Structure 1
């Protein structure tokens, strides 16, 4: 038995995937002992006049971005914000996001970005959980931000899209969009006023291996929202791993499409941080649409595009796609959910670019696997582990590795793996284990590895729903539904959808006094008031009872099997 275990471990520790790496991609990377904001500092010193961001025509150079970040850091320091403090960001992609993100890091603080689709309940949960002292927020969502503020927030710095639009566009935005006036006085202040402060004059004492740069909230493997503690080293390592995989060559030449939201770890690392490290120009969208993206790819000669299958699908299905010149694109990556082969092939035919599928988790900063850019891309596979990363297949119930070819839980080890969940020691015990001289993170996904080291996701260990690239957690939706005065039981599953992979569907049983009085649309409306739009069930089915196990546990599995049969997809 011990010999078999040793053999299984050696099969992964020998890293068979290295032989499939593109030429020039190293087996390992060196991660300098630097804080994450070093990437901006270093790029601004070498490429001060290069456009870092293009925001609806407004260009922000690396010199301007660095100076503004330093000023924001100086402001935070003057308010007593530093190591151990959390700065929340409730912002769409914008120059303000980049400034606040790097500025907070320069002050020594931890940044916790938030999804701008969050409801007041979700805003309150995250800010209360991490005890954020300062929040930078966008004015267009003033009402729900104010409604969700916990008492721990000492200051809210408001900004608007108009603050960084070029001249005429800013005037027109104010005239026709009429952005709301955010509160003034007390804890409410203007972000742009903070940028008038003197730049920070000293650097914080950062330990990159221990100090947390970002608290990124995720449901993890259980569905309960919690903060993944990503250190400066975690995030910097993943930037360097991506860079090594891409082999982009000369810095200061790439143009990135910034369509992915930076409040999500995929966009934060693969677009913002990686773009800054490469001295790329990032085309920034607060609310992207496909026409705009295609026009800007042509206009700015974009070269790198990170997206999700839905984005690529929307481009290839656009009725006027042939009218745009998208041939400047060179490297495109798809993540968050499986990439259909037909979508990839049509997109590459239209653009001439390499489109490759990758894989990652919030807990891994996020990238752990990508298909080779120049070499063999195997459709249906998430690809190979990136440099300095070891992946394996483990027994989902025991701290043991399984033989290659067997199906088990995907586990990873590498410098990009989080420090742990914030204030969740019991969760950390569930997701980490030691084996074969390494500490492994359980991903919650069931997978297998082939003989060449390509990995394949075959099922989910938990019931996470993938909708439009977002992770939707049934338990969170169910908890909201249970707050409805008429709901007796609730269960949520993902059901197949031809365009979005799957969508959430809720099953509920009603209290006796409510039967015949409450309709599915009433339940959907209640959910809409308490959840971000992408979490709201697209269907609600009212039943007398829900299927249960012998101990009374509601069986999502049975509901899912019934739905698949109903849709002619078997059990």
Structure 2
């Protein structure tokens, strides 16, 4: 068991936690009983008390049963941040279903794959995403689509700047089930199994082959990180969260939604990141906790209005997904007096396995193992366990680790290794730890690009590029970027008949129309050939290293 970090362990927290053996939805129902009149969500000035939230959850659960959803069925959420996301999430698990959170930036083809793979029966979709949903046709098993209009939960006089997508008028009826129609059901929820070992959430990640994989999380694995995060970060019922992380992502899902609901805190929710709206929200509603990604912090600190607003209510600022540059962390401290608290986790672990101690965080650091987490750093080639300062692959074991990949037994087997009778997840991340037990990211064993916290798998982008009639060969790499950490770049060999007839900008525009905004390459460079090994395998590392040398990193 890794214990080197015990010397810097948070003094208020035991090293082992007991986790409730209940279904996830019981957290919300308990909070509704404890704080019925307290605001659960504040949405651009609209206050939704816990009693109203709980009743809506019960109605959604009953409505889903009316749509034919049975315990164990998958139901997808294709939404931006909004009160309906929270209500639908808990309505699904309260009906015994399994939530499939889907990135709303995904295009129709990407959406169709996840819906088919998960065999989702019902889809909740934002009104602005209707065109992508309508194009699905009969390519999935979805038998009902519930349309969500964000403006339905706006107050008459919003207190914060409202983005266009939220204020947009309702689109023409597309034959979807209306949100109000779904809620027009008896408030009594259906009887469902309560075993916490049953599946609750199926978030999708991409594998080294670029094929998205569903990570099977039970009520128990989700609850582990909810409880751990709440106690680690000192979350209390009086906490006010600034909820700006996307809720489809495991970090936002856990830290900005499930944790506040578990303790009975209030979430001030924004549908999209807006530095002015965030600043006003902190000042107006006295937000105490803000989980984010590094690009939000950078943007926030460059807001010229920052010095004119009162942000003294903030007690905690932290996040993960991409390292916060040390200079930015120092600027945050100079302006707010707060040290950035960074964490590390995976979709496979439904958020954190490591977190910096709030009383002793280090910058550009993954942190120390969370409660009940064991980890090892091993040599990639030999599997030999390594010591302080040595670089190797991070293996993690803990109660928050997924059961496996959905319908992918071979990939599940490859993702785990058993050491001394204990099952460890192979993260694919190359790390080192210091003498105090703090972990630092060095590199990635897998070919993943981290663009502002969004995980991009080059093989998936390449598969789209090969559909372009002008592309003969393609290789995608990450390019160092001072704001996002990494940016996506494609090296392309054109077919002879297209040389001189197509431009890099045209390739970028073509990709923009077919891929999620965070995936498509921002840079395309035409080359005569790609470097290859003797067996004909593309040497992507050569191109990756070339970009790092160009950037001087």
Q: Give the alignment's TM-score, normalised by structure 1.
A: 0.93
Give the structure 2 partner of residue 156 of structure 1.
145
1:14 offset after TM fit, Å?
4.7
Q: How does 1:68-467 map to 2 (within 5 A)?
A: 68-148=56-136, 150-168=139-157, 177-184=168-175, 188-209=176-197, 211-248=198-235, 251-374=236-359, 376-397=360-381, 400-467=384-451
Contact 2:458 2:475 in 1 (8 A): yes
Q: Deviations over 1:315-371 (max 9, x none)?
A: 111122111111110011121011112211211222233421111111111101111
| 3-state DSSP of counterpart to 2:372 | coil
Cα distance in 2, alignment partners of residues 424 and 20 from structure 1 = 39
Cα distance in 2, alignment partners of residues 476 and 462 from structure 1 = 13
Cα distance in 2, alignment partners of residues 327 and 349 from structure 1 = 13
Gap regions ≥5 residues in structure 1:
1-12
Contact 2:166 2:271 in 1 (8 A): no
1:52 maps to which of 40, 43, 51: 40
Q: How does 1:4-19 map to 2 (within 5 A)?
A: 13-19=1-7
1:247 offset after TM fit, Å?
2.6
Contact 1:136 1:191 in 2 (8 A): no
Confirm whether residue 20 of structure 1 aligns to residue 8 of structure 2. Answer: yes
Cα distance in 1, alignment partners of residues 209 and 265 from structure 2 = 37
| 3-state DSSP of counterpart to 1:533 | coil
| 3-state DSSP of counterpart to 1:167 | coil
| 3-state DSSP of counterpart to 1:530 | coil
Name whichever of 107-116 and 332-341 sits farther off: 332-341
Contact 1:229 1:418 in 2 (8 A): yes
Cα distance in 1, alignment partners of residues 165 and 377 from structure 2 = 55
Gap regions ≥5 residues in structure 2:
none
* Cα 1:490–1:261 shift into 2, 3 Å: same
Give the structure 2 partner of residue 543 of structure 1.
527
Cα distance in 2, alignment partners of residues 397 and 182 from structure 1 = 57
2:496 maps to which of 509, 512, 522: 512
Contact 1:393 1:404 in 2 (8 A): no
Alpha carbon RMSD of aligned pairs, Å? 1.9
Confirm whether residue 526 of structure 1 aligns to residue 510 of structure 2. Answer: yes
| 3-state DSSP of counterpart to 1:421 | coil
| 3-state DSSP of counterpart to 1:479 | helix
Deviation above 4 Å: which 4+ runs of structure 1?
A: 168-176, 397-400
Contact 1:83 1:107 in 2 (8 A): yes
1:77 offset after TM fit, Å?
1.5
1:172 offset after TM fit, Å?
12
| 3-state DSSP of counterpart to 2:513 | helix
* Cα 1:33–1:500 shift into 2, 3 Å: same
Contact 2:317 2:341 in 1 (8 A): yes
Contact 1:157 1:189 in 2 (8 A): yes
Q: Deviations over 1:70-116 (max 9, x none)?
A: 11001112233122211001111111000100000000000001111
Q: Deviations over 1:104-152 (max 9, x none)?
A: 0000000001111111111111101101000011111211121135331
Q: Deviations over 1:266-299 (max 9, x none)?
A: 1000110011112111011111200000010000
How many residues end up aligned between the 2 structures?
550
Contact 2:150 2:166 in 1 (8 A): no
* Cα 1:63–1:541 shift into 2, 3 Å: same
Cα distance in 2, alignment partners of residues 199 and 295 from structure 1 = 36
Contact 2:102 2:248 in 1 (8 A): yes
2:21 maps to which of 33, 39, 44: 33
1:398 offset after TM fit, Å?
5.2
Name whichever of 389-398 and 472-481 sits farther off: 389-398
| 3-state DSSP of counterpart to 1:504 | strand
Cα distance in 2, alignment partners of residues 343 and 530 from structure 1 = 34
Cα distance in 1, alignment partners of residues 188 and 100 from structure 2 = 21
1:212 offset after TM fit, Å?
1.2
